[in-house]
Structure 1
Amino acid sequence: MIDEEITLKKLEVFLAFMRLHSLARVSEEVGQSTVSVHRALHSLEEGLRCPLFRREGRNLAPLPAAFVFARHVQRAVAETEEGIRQARELAGVEGRRLKIGSLYSLTLRCIPQLLMGLKLRRPELQVDLTLGSNQELQQGLEEGRLDAIVIGLQAPLDEARADARFLNVPLFEDEVRLAAPLGSPYAGRDHVDLRDLRGEKFITLGSGFVTAHSFDHAFQQAGYVPETVLRVSDIFSLINLVAGGMGYSLLPGRVAGFSSRIDLIPLDARYASRQAITLLLSTARERDPNLLALAAECRMYGVKREALPG
């Protein structure tokens, strides 16, 4: 039986002393007082029921038993650390692989910049990127299939309704606009009144996407239900259908770079709808170094974006 006085923490202190040969230096390295370090070494001797050191003035000198014990302790601590690493990696915590979910509409600028920054912070990290709707990504996060997701939430965020299971790290807000084919009657306007489009046909994304929610929200503000002729499952098809003259839609400003064949025209302020692009991760894992690095990169992205003119 291993005596209860022998703990991994004391073994780590013991190995630090065998390497540094100084109570003061060990104290600095492990963040404990010299009295606590001395007490840990003394209690380790009591647990072993044999001496490991002899006093030499104010310091301790290792006995032959300490060197023999250190060789075995080194292997035991190394094996324990490796076991912890493998267990955490298998559980998806602090591994060398991070599973991130994102919206398709964020893959033009936001996600590439985040991933490049993350790789600079954590060069050894491998990233799996999953694209989907808000609903799919949130389900993946809740079920543990994803470690973090970058999604859009209807702005302004309601703190009272925030899910305590998840930590929110805001990146930026995006304005929803009217998406029209080039040369439409609304081209060149500073803004459009959605009530002027009452007789037009619309295309939108299916339920589960934040942009579908923004679409419904804007028309609720306008006071009518638009004629929706088609619902699609990805934003690229929607952009191409609008460009081809199949109908109008409401899309966030961030998709402007995906196509030069559509106009994105601001809505009248009465029907404004905004999306908060946000990183979500489990509060139970907020101290995971990989997720801390991702959160830091998201905050940096938000600061840089706010600094841009306009």
Structure 2
Amino acid sequence: MNIDTLKYVLALAEYQSYSKAAEEMHISQSSLSKQISKLEGELGVKLFDRTTRHICLTVAGSEFLRHAAKILNDIDEAEKAMQEYCIIQRGELVIGTIPVICYFGLASLIVSFQKKYPGIKLKLKEAETKLLIQLRKNLKIDAAFVTFTDDTELNSTFELFPIITDHIVLVTPQFHPLAAYKSVDFKDIANEKFVSMTNNSLATEIFINACKKAGFTPDIVYESDHIDMIVGFVSGGLGVSLLTSQIAKKFTKGNNIKIVNLNEKINITIALAIPKENNLTPGIRTFKKYTLEWFKK
């Protein structure tokens, strides 16, 4: 008994004809008949009832067919698993990231992933969420770390797997009048000068929309792509800023700033965005699984 013999049994059971089954398996009708008879001799049971007009499985044949199908399926799955294993040993992934992800442990994740899968070459492409969506449309990236809020909807290009949830806070100079408060309303900051991320940032869009909802347009006097620059300007008294809580806390030490909560809570979620495709590459599936497990630790 071998794999080919099992395939012959499945073909004969499906077509119920030696000629059609032989044609499907690319062997002669006589060879197929000999192989089936040989297998029946080895097993000591008849697998098929044969008449001049009809071929059908016996009770024993039906039982054997169930096991044969399972064996062939298991072999197929094993071959696929080994093929995937070979692929993830020598693949390449391009991962899009929002700039602020570095403050949430991305470097540690990448180092850990590369140690476990040294054959996968990771390339990082940094951009804001809107551009990352476009890059995926153009097949320039394989997956991405993106931001979204309760009120925003991402393009249907991605399936989102939330990994970090944070909220917006006000960051002021240490001796600013608002620094004396534990929390403020949006209307309380209507006359402030703001230091903000650049306009293509989703966080900036969220901030501007929240201000407009409160009845004013923020006076943005400085913009930067770099958080440390924004904090430096705020510390120097050039304005106030709205940042996520976790990022703001990382800059409190050594800077003359104060974190003030907002009464109108705005949540921001960072998610791993995976393409909505039925046949993801083994590399993407591996990175997805590893990332989600890593952030659960």
Could you report, residue by residue, the CA deviation over 1:105-139 in whole angstroms, capped at 9, with x for unpaired residues? 11133312432453366442111011122222222
CA distance in 1, matches of 2:121, 2:280: 19
| Alignment partner, residue 145 of structure 1 | 140
Could you report, residue by residue, the CA deviation over 1:192-234 in whole angstroms, capped at 9, with x for unpaired residues? 2332333321111222212102211331243212222122233
CA distance in 2, matches of 1:299, 1:204: 31
Distance 1:227 1:163, change over 3 A: closer
Matched, 1:195 2:187: yes
Distance 1:301 1:205, change over 3 A: same
| Alignment partner, residue 122 of structure 2 | 127
| Alignment partner, residue 107 of structure 2 | 112
TM-score by length of 1: 0.65
* Segment drifting more, 214-223 vs 99-108: 214-223
* Segment drifting more, 278-287 vs 122-131: 278-287
The SS at the match of 2:147 is strand
* Pairing 1:31-180 to 2, within 5 Å after superposition: 35-36=9-10, 43=22, 47-49=26-28, 51=31, 55=38, 57-58=41-42, 96-119=91-114, 122-153=117-148, 155-156=149-150, 161-180=153-172
CA distance in 2, matches of 1:97, 1:157: 34
Could you report, residue by residue, the CA deviation over 1:118-174 in whole angstroms, capped at 9, with x for unpaired residues? 336644211101112222222211111111110111x2156xx55333211111221
User: CA shift at 1:293, angstroms?
Assistant: 2.4
Which residue of 246, 252, 272 maps to 1:254? 246
Distance 1:201 1:162, change over 3 A: closer
CA distance in 2, matches of 1:296, 1:150: 14
The SS at the match of 2:183 is coil
| Alignment partner, residue 296 of structure 1 | 289
Could you report, residue by residue, the CA deviation over 1:227-270 in whole angstroms, capped at 9, with x for unpaired residues? 22122233332222222222111011232325631545243323
Distance 1:266 1:293, change over 3 A: farther
Check whether the contact 1:117–1:297 (CA below 8 A) recurs between aligned residues.
no
Which residue of 257, 261, 264 maps to 1:267? 261
| Alignment partner, residue 71 of structure 2 | none
* Bigger Rg, which one: 2
The SS at the match of 2:182 is coil
Over the aligned positions, Cα root-mean-square deviation in angstroms equals 3.7
CA distance in 1, matches of 2:154, 2:89: 25
The SS at the match of 2:103 is coil
Letter in 2 for 1:296: K
The SS at the match of 2:178 is coil
Check whether the contact 1:217–1:273 (CA below 8 A) recurs between aligned residues.
no
Distance 1:258 1:44, change over 3 A: farther
- Gap runs ≥5 in structure 2: 15-20, 44-79
Matched, 1:17 2:3: yes
Letter in 1 for 2:290: E
The SS at the match of 2:229 is helix
Check whether the contact 2:90–2:119 (CA below 8 A) recurs between aligned residues.
no
Check whether the contact 2:168–2:267 (CA below 8 A) recurs between aligned residues.
yes
Distance 1:149 1:95, change over 3 A: farther
Aligned residues: 245
TM-score by length of 2: 0.67
Q: Percent identity?
A: 20
* Segment drifting more, 109-118 vs 127-136: 109-118
Matched, 1:210 2:199: no
| Alignment partner, residue 69 of structure 1 | none
Letter in 1 for 2:42: R
Distance 1:164 1:188, change over 3 A: same
User: CA shift at 1:285, angstroms?
Assistant: 5.8
| Alignment partner, residue 214 of structure 2 | 222
